[in-house]
């Protein structure tokens, strides 16, 4: 488990935007993952997607890392931002895009 | 699968005085939409607010297939 947590930490710190999801952005396997990818696509900044159905150890790993019970999970600038509902809400309030652009610009 | 009323009672116990809505739009007890407006959320970020709801749901959480959650801090004195 420690290795997985270290992998996740590295992943979220090295990429401005990371989503842990079921399936891939092109073929999401869950409605919540699909809706979250749609929001990220609207923001338009490239993001890294990790398919927890393929990388199965990360399924429980990311839940333990964030103490958050559900997938998808979105990280911006190394920080856990939330799941589908929070990401959608931040986008609706106009707060998500600036957060993501900030993180992308810091690279 | 859960009884939406069980979810309602559980949240009412955990968040006294909150406005709580539990919807079961598919009627299957698997896909729930929950809204909690509580003064307990004041000063906390959305991640913390959602964590508080997940914690309150406890053993009910794994029995819900999909939970759509919306939380809001209730302004003092407002109804």
Residue contact A82–B46, C-beta within 8 A: yes
Please tell me the distance from the alpha carbon of residue B19 to that of residue B74, in angstroms, as a whole number: 9
Query: What pLDDT is attached to residue B75?
Result: 77
What confidence category does residue B78 fall into, taking pLDDT thresholds of 50, 70 and 90?
Answer: low
Residue contact A85–B47, C-beta within 8 A: no
Contact A39, A8 (CB under 8 A): no
Query: What pLDDT is attached to residue A91?
Result: 98
Which domains, and CATH codes, for chain A?
A: 2-105 (3.40.30.10)
Interface pTM (ipTM) of the complex?
Answer: 0.86
B63 touching A (Cβ < 8 Å): no
Residue contact B47–A31, C-beta within 8 A: no
Phi and psi based region of residue A17 (left: phi greater than 0; alpha: psi -120 to 50; beta: remaining): beta
| B46 contacts in chain A (CB < 8 Å) | 82, 86, 89-90
Please tell me the distance from the alpha carbon of residue A65 to that of residue A58, in angstroms, as a whole number: 10
Of A72, A102, A101, the residue nearest A87 (C-alpha): A72
Residue of chain A whose alpha carbon sits nearest to that of B34 = A85
User: What string of DSSP letters covers chain A?
Assistant: -HHHHHHHHHHHHHSSEEEEESB-SSSBSSHHHHHHHHHHHHHT---EEEETTTSTHHHHHHHHHHT--SS-EEEETTEEEESHHHHHHHHHTT-HHHHHHHHHHT-
Query: What pLDDT is attached to residue B74?
Result: 87
B47 touching A (Cβ < 8 Å): yes
The yes-or-no verdict on residue B79 having pLDDT over 80 is: no
Please tell me the distance from the alpha carbon of residue A31 to that of residue A76, in angstroms, as a whole number: 21
Residue contact A67–B51, C-beta within 8 A: yes
Digit-coded pLDDT (tens) for B29-74: 999 999 999 999 999 999 999 999 999 999 999 999 999 999 999 8
Please tell me the distance from the alpha carbon of residue A20 to that of residue A71, in angstroms, as a whole number: 7
What's the pTM value of the predicted model, to 2 decimals?
0.91
The yes-or-no verdict on residue B77 having pLDDT over 90 is: no
Which domains, and CATH codes, for chain B?
A: 4-73 (3.30.300.90)
The yes-or-no verdict on residue B21 having pLDDT over 90 is: yes
pLDDT tens-digit profile, chain A (107 residues) = 789 999 999 999 999 999 999 999 999 999 999 999 999 999 999 999 999 999 999 999 999 999 999 999 999 999 999 999 999 999 999 999 999 999 999 87
Count of other CB atoms within 10 angstroms of residue B67:
23
Query: What pLDDT is attached to residue B76?
Result: 65
């Amino acid at each position: 488990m420690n290795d997985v947590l270290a992998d996740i930490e590295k992943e979220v710190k090295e990429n401005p935007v990371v989503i842990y999801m079921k399936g891939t952005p092109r073929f999401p396997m869950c409605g919540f993952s699909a809706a979250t990818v749609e929001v990220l696509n609207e923001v338009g900044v490239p993001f890294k997607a990790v398919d927890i159905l393929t990388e199965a150890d990360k399924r429980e790993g990311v839940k333990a890392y964030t103490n958050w019970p559900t997938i998808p999970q979105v990280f911006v600038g190394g920080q856990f931002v939330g799941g589908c509902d929070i990401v959608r809400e931040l986008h609706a309030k106009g707060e998500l895009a600036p957060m993501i652009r900030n993180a992308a610009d810091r690279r | 699968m859960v009884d939406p009323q069980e979810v309602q009672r559980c949240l009412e116990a955990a968040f006294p005085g909150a406005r709580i809505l539990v919807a079961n739009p598919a009627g299957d007890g698997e896909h729930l939409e929950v809204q909690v407006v509580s003064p307990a959320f004041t000063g906390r970020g959305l991640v913390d607010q959602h964590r508080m709801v997940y914690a309150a749901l406890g053993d009910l959480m794994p029995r819900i297939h999909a939970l759509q959650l919306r939380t809001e801090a209730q302004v003092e004195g407002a109804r």
